[in-house]
Amino acid sequence: MKYYFKEFEVTTKEEWKAAFCASYKSSGDDMHWKEGRSGECLAEDFIGTGGNGEQSIIDLINRILRPQSISLEIAQIEYPSVFDNHPRPRIQDLAMWGSADNGSIFVGVEAKVDEPFGSKTVAQQRKYVNGLTNTEADKRLDELVNNYLGGDEEAHGKLRYQLLYYLAGSFCEKKANIIFMPVIVYKSRGKYFNEYSDRKGKANEAAYKYFMTELGFTPIKDVVGGEIKMAFHKRIFAHGLEKDIYSCYIVK
């Protein structure tokens, strides 16, 4: 599989770092890029020496779909997934496109060490946007609630807004009818650099599980094992489309 940032091919970890920093409009010494944190860990796993990121995604898809054949063809670093008409798309840490006999596939990776799923719940996001002027953030939230929360914002106010954003961005990839949303936690590498907090990690795991459960995703129990700690599936109808959504929580 080839990796790109926009139209530029990325073949080394240094090029990945440059792409990552460019996405934050940084000259290269960006506060978000640090050894043992999610951006660097993701690069090491997928393009560094000894990483198994690509193969682990292929193995995951094989375990869930059990296709006769599968291929991952192209990947984009810091890829903007557009899911509505408002500014600021969902930025996928790593986006991949491929195919299997079951259909076309999109994989949107969210990489973590122990960084939180954003600081706001859906209820907190509503409070935040209500205090804004000259913005369409309230309309975006309305659309997310109507499309993915059945219009019931009060019942789902405790869900993490970033995860809702992640779901919408992944679902709306037009080139695929099967969506994978793997959250990859680089716990062991974070611990190596003394950058992993068990307390924060457990909070993230709980937030992810709560999100999937509250939205009615069904656990896929026979996929769980090894690095895969949780796996879920739901067929979602939104934006006039119907797609199979698979998500899992991987700890490396």
Q: Which of 23-27, 91-95, 137-141 has the lowest mean pLDDT?
A: 23-27
pLDDT of residue 178: 97
DSSP 8-state secondary structure symbol assigned to residue 221: G
199-234 confidence digits (pLDDT tens):
999 999 999 999 999 999 999 999 999 999 999 999
How far apart are alpha carbons 103 and 69 in whole angstroms? 11
Q: What is the pTM of this model?
A: 0.95
How far apart are alpha carbons 61 and 178 in whole angstroms? 10
47-77 confidence digits (pLDDT tens):
998 889 999 999 999 999 999 999 999 999 9
Indicate the SS3 state at residue 147.
helix
The yes-or-no verdict on residue 26 having pLDDT over 60 is no
pLDDT mean over 76-105 = 94
Beta bridge partners of 109: 94
pLDDT of residue 135: 80
The yes-or-no verdict on residue 119 having pLDDT over 90 is no
Give alpha helix (H) positions in the chain.
13-23, 38-47, 53-65, 122-130, 137-148, 161-171, 187-192, 198-214
At 220, which amino acid appears?
I
Tokens of residue 49, six digits: 């020496």
Residue pair 69/62 in contact (Cβ under 8 Å)? The answer is no
| Structure-model confidence comparison of residues 22 and 107, the more confident one | 107
What average pLDDT is seen over the chain?
Answer: 94
How far apart are alpha carbons 49 and 42 in whole angstroms? 12
pLDDT mean over 26-41 = 80
pLDDT of residue 134: 75
pLDDT of residue 66: 93
**Inter-residue long-range contacts of 7-12, CB under 8 Å, 24+ positions, other chains counted:** 10/47, 10/77, 11/47, 12/47
pLDDT of residue 102: 80
